[in-house]
């Protein structure tokens, strides 16, 4: 089914909830220097999903948006994540999932992670919360494997935990929640598609020790800057000498947006996830809005359609709406 409008569900506070709606936020993976290890959840945009328990075992996927995404559970990111959850639940259970995507697939804003995370958060709620958040990340990483060919958790973890997360390890999972000072996030999504699998394919497999040392310094500096509320240190550490030089070639206007945003007072920023979205962090709202105007100017001049957001860090993560 396509183009179905998802109607809000009623109050689901009883223990025998059969249907829930979930908001699943967009996320910025990597946070410039932390390829595959850092991620941040955003207030906007968010996907909306409705998940129902069904009598029949199995998974039925429906799309309430215009995107032509697969409905076969093992080929769909939400379906693959639910299959992993059902394997550990052991008892027979079935889910019907209606996905209303507001985060465009291929945007670099964690669209696949939102579907994967939203599905398992909803299913866990419907089953009476038997699984931990770490379990849910583990299940949802199966969706990332379907989407990009590799299990990574830098979108999934912030989508489920909210805030900023450090993935110290994925095998075994070791997720660290980071505190951070208040910040505004300005995002531009040029309406071109960059597939994560392609953006991973073009990366060099070896890294020079000199570059690795610089990157380690920046990751450690960024984490310390977040935890110490040190805006200047955050700004100095938002530098990527390994991934960005390769991937930014795929994003028209990237260098211009970055240079002008920093001149306008942004702390710094870079490619959101695997792109093509670009994000900038700012301490003040006025600066974040100035950065949005720069993004609008750059993409209007380039004649490329785009969408912008001025938003904040989302500390709730994927949320069941009662």
Interaction with ligand HSE in 180-199: which residues (CB under 6 A)? 196, 199
The residue range among 44-52, 132-140, 147-155, 251-259 that interacts with ligand HSE, by the rule CB under 6 A, is: 147-155
Of 200 and 319, which has the nearer Cβ to ligand HSE? 200
Of 50, 165, 186, 196, the active-site residue reads: 196
Q: Are strands 184-190 and 319-321 parallel, antiparallel or unpaired?
A: unpaired
Largest Cα span, the chain = 58
Of 198 and 256, which has the nearer Cβ to ligand HSE? 198
Nearest to 34 by CA among 157, 162, 147, 166: 166
Interaction with ligand HSE in 22-41: which residues (CB under 6 A)? 29-30, 35-36
**Smallest distance, ligand HSE to C-beta of residue 163, A:** 17
**Residue count at the site for ligand HSE (CB under 6 A)?**
12
**Smallest distance, ligand HSE to C-beta of residue 39, A:** 8
Of 17 and 109, which has the nearer Cβ to ligand HSE? 109
State which of residues 152, 258, 260, 283 lies at the interface with ligand HSE (CB under 6 A). 152
Residue positions counted in the chain: 322
State which of residues 65, 154, 240, 292 lies at the interface with ligand HSE (CB under 6 A). 154
Of 200 and 307, which has the nearer Cβ to ligand HSE? 200
Active site annotation includes 55:
no
Active site annotation includes 196:
yes
Instruction: Report whether 166 contacts 158 (CB < 8 A).
Output: no
Binding to ligand HSE by CB under 6 A, coded x per residue (else -) over 246-285, reads ---------------------------xx-----------
Residue 207 burial (CB count, 10 A): 13
| Cα(83)–Cα(95) distance, integer angstroms | 10
| Cα(298)–Cα(304) distance, integer angstroms | 9
Of 48 and 194, which has the nearer Cβ to ligand HSE? 194
The sign of the CA dihedral 177, 178, 179, 180 is: negative
The residue range among 70-78, 94-102, 148-156, 172-180 that interacts with ligand HSE, by the rule CB under 6 A, is: 148-156
Coil/strand/helix, residue 89: helix
| Cα(95)–Cα(322) distance, integer angstroms | 18
Of 50, 144, 186, 244, the active-site residue reads: 144
Q: Is residue 107 involved in binding ligand HSE (CB under 6 A)?
A: no
Q: Is residue 145 involved in binding ligand HSE (CB under 6 A)?
A: no
The 8-class DSSP code of residue 276 comes to S
Of 22 and 33, which has the nearer Cβ to ligand HSE? 33
Q: Which two tokens stand for residue 61?
A: 């996927």
Instruction: Report whether 4 contacts 62 (CB < 8 A).
Output: yes
| Cα(47)–Cα(24) distance, integer angstroms | 5
| Cα(138)–Cα(172) distance, integer angstroms | 9
Place of tokens 């920046």: 218
Nearest to 305 by CA among 196, 198, 188: 188
State which of residues 125, 151, 195, 200 lies at the interface with ligand HSE (CB under 6 A). 200
Give me the residues that bind ligand HSE (CB under 6 A), please: 29-30, 35-36, 152, 154-155, 196, 199-200, 273-274
Catalytic residues: 144, 196
């Amino acid at each position: 089914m396509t183009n179905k409008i998802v109607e809000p569900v009623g109050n689901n506070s009883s223990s025998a909830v059969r249907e829930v709606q979930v908001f699943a936020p967009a996320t910025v993976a990597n946070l410039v220097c932390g390829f595959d290890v850092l991620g941040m959840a955003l207030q906007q945009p968010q996907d909306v999903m409705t998940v129902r328990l069904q009598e029949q075992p199995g998974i039925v996927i429906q799309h309430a948006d215009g995107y032509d995404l697969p409905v076969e559970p093992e080929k769909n990111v939400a379906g693959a994540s639910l299959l992993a959850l059902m394997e550990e639940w052991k008892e027979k259970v079935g889910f019907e999932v209606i996905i209303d995507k507001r985060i465009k697939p291929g945007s670099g804003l964690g669209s696949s992670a939102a579907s994967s995370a939203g599905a398992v958060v909803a299913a866990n709620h419907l089953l009476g919360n038997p699984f931990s958040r770490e379990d849910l990340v583990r299940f949802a990483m199966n969706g990332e494997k379907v989407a990009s060919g590799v299990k990574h958790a830098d979108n999934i973890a912030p989508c489920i935990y909210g805030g900023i997360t450090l993935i110290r390890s994925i095998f075994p999972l070791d997720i660290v929640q980071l505190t951070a000072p208040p910040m505004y996030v300005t995002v531009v999504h040029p309406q071109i598609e960059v597939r994560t699998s392609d953006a991973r394919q073009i990366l060099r497999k070896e890294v020079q020790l000199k570059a690795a040392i610089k990157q380690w310094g920046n990751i450690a500096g960024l984490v310390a800057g977040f935890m110490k509320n040190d805006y200047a240190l955050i700004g100095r550490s938002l530098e990527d000498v390994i991934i960005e030089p390769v991937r930014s070639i795929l994003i028209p206007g990237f260098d211009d947006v970055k240079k002008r945003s920093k001149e306008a007072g942004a702390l710094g920023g870079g490619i959101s996830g695997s792109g093509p979205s670009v994000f900038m962090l700012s301490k003040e709202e006025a600066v974040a809005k100035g950065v949005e105007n720069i993004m609008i100017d750059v993409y209007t001049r380039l004649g490329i359609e785009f969408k912008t957001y001025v938003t904040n860090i989302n500390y709730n993560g994927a949320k069941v709406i009662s």
